[in-house]
Amino acid sequence: MKHARVAYGGAIHAATEHSAGLLLADGRVLAEDAVVWLPPFEIGTVIALGLNYADHVKELSKELTLTSKDEPLAFLKSPGALIGHRGQTRRPADVKFMHYECELAVVIGRSAKNVKRENAMQHVAGYSVANDYAIRDYLENYYRPNLRVKNRDTCTVLGPWLVDAADVPNPHTLALRTFVNGVVTQQGHTSNMISDIPTLIEYLSSFMTLSAGDVILTGTPDGVVNVNVGDEVVTEIDGIGRLVNTIVGDTPFGR
């Protein structure tokens, strides 16, 4: 099943997919554009992975010093960085290169501590689509992604749906793609992850407790390009969802 959280009529509602848009828990059916979409679950800790697709590492090879012995590149985000489907992401006026990152988001369903990879998937509640923007101007290096790059307000779009894990038999067989103003600019496949989902859960749970509502952003493939104010960016993953986002400037944020 596909689950959502939306704001409508002064309240926050749980909703599920409906042929006409959304079915609220109270039985009302609403069009997709009649609500404000929120991240589809209560967000805990957000753990993001960098350089987790082989083709993306190759794309950035001239900028990297990376070896097969390196641990996964993981960093944290605050829940305040996240917005929902059809939301607006700010592009500061002073930046030259801001790009999207289409990512499979893995949502933890129950506490995980020192979990072995063979049991890791038992701790997954489901999956969502993430678009994790980065501003390359602010990047010091790929082993030190500072807060302005990866923890800015509105920089991480999540949704529209939380898809139950039971409805995704193999999350490592999914195609993902990005469209900018209707043109395909990025294509990839989750089979190209360097560290797969069980490996990531085993690694992360070896030194931190993962709790229900925590989300792991599993990285992006190659094909990231600059986006500008006014661009519509759509990130989609087969079987998970189609996530729409618009780039805006400073003015809507009072800057």
Over residues 229-249, the pLDDT tens digits come to 999 999 999 999 999 999 999
Q: What is the pLDDT of residue 68?
A: 47
Tokens coding 16: 């599920």
Over residues 200-218, the pLDDT tens digits come to 999 999 999 999 999 999 9
> Which residues of the chain are under the pLDDT cut of 70?
55-70, 141-146
Contact 127, 244 (CB under 8 A): no
Q: How far is CA 249 from CA 36, 94, 154, 168, 229, in A?
A: 20, 10, 12, 37, 6
Q: What is the pLDDT of residue 124?
A: 98
Q: Which CATH number is 1-38's, of 3.40.50.2000, 2.30.30.370, 1.10.3720.10, 1.20.20.10?
A: 2.30.30.370
Q: What is the pLDDT of residue 73?
A: 83
Q: How far apart are CA 126 and CA 17, in angstroms?
A: 15
Q: What is the pLDDT of residue 64?
A: 52
Q: How far is CA 16 from CA 3, 23, 40, 240, in A?
A: 5, 5, 10, 13
Q: How far is CA 23 from CA 3, 26, 150, 158, 160, in A?
A: 10, 8, 33, 19, 14
Give domain limits for the chain: 1-38, 42-253
| The total number of residues written for the chain in this structure | 255
Question: b/e for 136-147, b at 16 or more Cβ within 10 A?
Answer: eebbeeeeebee
Quick one: CATH architecture of 42-253? Alpha-Beta Complex (3.90)
Q: pTM of this prediction?
A: 0.93
